[in-house]
Amino acid sequence: MIVVLVEHSQGVFKKKSLEAVLYAAHIAKEMGTDITAVAMGNVPDSEMQTLGAYGAQKVLHTTDARLDNFNSKAYAKVVVAAAQKENAKVIIGLHDTTGKAVMPRVAARLQAGLVAGAVGYPDLSKGFTVKKNVFSGKAFAFVNVTSDTKVISLMPNTFPVVKGEGSATVEQMEAGLSDADFSVKVLEVSKASGSVPLSEAELVVSGGRGLKGPENWYVLEALAQELGAATACSRPVADAHWRPHGEHVGQTGGTIRPNLYIAVGISGAIQHLAGVNGSKTIVVINKDPEAPFFKAADYGVLGDAMEIVPKLTEAVKKF
Ligand code: FAD
């Protein structure tokens, strides 16, 4: 059996979680086994049943009001309870903010080998060998997991999401949570302000310190609005509170793989590239011809952001 942790936003599963279920379905087919998804919090049954169209046979649902706010310790306990109930040999989550905190805990509790940031399916002809990112996405490693139980966190936006047919059964699960599991509490969640969710956006307009200050962000927002894109930023920008932390991408922020990533006034440090170098097309706008980002760019524009971005926005308007 394979157990997969699925995440939702206000009762609707995130696209990246559907990707995780499809990923699990591919492995389950090769292993000749089934998939059980684990959902927490307030999700309607009708939404959980849709996971059948992505390959899950069953959804275990834990509805404890305390789970409405993310808590890595409690989430891990629920996933472990599901894995034990299902006698799962493979447990899958995402290599995102939630998964980075939850999946290592799950692996530790189950004494399982962990592949963090997988970008390939396990090669069963070579034991259980999984391709993963290393050195902030600069190289790949092939990791052979030899433990009986295996835990994988999948790099989001690695595989396409294609809906099939089918409906999953839903079963309530009591995970034995106690107050001690909620000893760390989330007091505030600040969301990225853009209308398009960053993690699922096909187009992203991103800004760095080269924008000089939050008062200049209107040029990026205008372009993003014309394109129907999400906005993102480099870490120093979020650290300086020019933009919310939900928009920060990179090694210590979100990992995105949009079709188009437009980087404006961002130098292209390796820690930034780690979160965006899976983008299909990268456009870099920078006034320094030596900016390292140009080496990773498909298209580069040399010049001042405050001149070039408004011109780009005007050009997009004409389409
Ligand atoms: P800068 O490096 O200051 O670059 C600004 C760029 O703007 C320059 O290239 C400049 O030429 C250009 N510019 C200036 N004026 C203009 C103009 N008018 N028009 C056009 N271009 C202009 N960073 C991240 O982004 N994400 C992370 O997750 C992350 N994690 C980190 C983790 C660790 C452990 C460490 C040590 C660092 C991390 N960093 C991360 C920081 C990273 O190393 C860089 O410092 C950061 O990415 C630089 O941000 P920046 O490109 O916005 O700023």
Give pLDDT, residue 254.
Answer: 87
3-state secondary structure of 276: helix
Please say if the pLDDT value at position 191 is more than 80. Answer: no
Q: Packing angle between helix 305-317 and helix 218-227, nearest 10 degrees? A: 20
Q: Which of 76, 2, 75, 87 is nearest to 36 (CA)?
A: 2
Average pLDDT of span 205-210:
98
* pLDDT tens digits, 260-310: 999 999 999 999 999 998 899 999 999 999 999 999 999 999 999 999 999
Å from CA of 96 to ligand 1 middle: 21
Distance CA 161, CA 46 (A): 20
Q: Which atom of ligand 1 is nearest to the CA of 304?
A: 19
Distances (CA, A) of 149 to 73, 77, 88, 195, 207: 20, 16, 7, 40, 42
Q: Which of 40, 37, 47 is nearest to 13 (CA)?
A: 47
Q: Are 20 and 93 in contact (CB under 8 A)?
A: yes
Share of the chain above pLDDT 70, in %: 97
Q: Which residues are annotated as a binding site for FAD?
A: 209, 234-235, 265-272, 286
Helices (H), the chain: 15-31, 45-49, 72-86, 97-110, 218-227, 235-239, 270-276, 293-296, 305-317
Distance CA 232, CA 38 (A): 30
Indicate if ligand 1 lies below 6 Å from the C-beta of 269.
yes
3-state secondary structure of 60: strand
* pLDDT tens digits, 48-78: 999 999 999 999 999 998 888 889 999 999 9
Å from CA of 197 to ligand 1 middle: 22
Q: Which of 233, 251, 270 to mutate to test the pocket of ligand 1 (most atoms within 8 A of CB)?
A: 251
Q: The pTM is what?
A: 0.77
Give pLDDT, residue 318.
Answer: 87
Indicate if ligand 1 lies below 6 Å from the C-beta of 213.
no
Q: Per residue, what are the HEC states of 108-135?
A: HHHCCEEEEEECCCCEHHHCCEEEEEEC
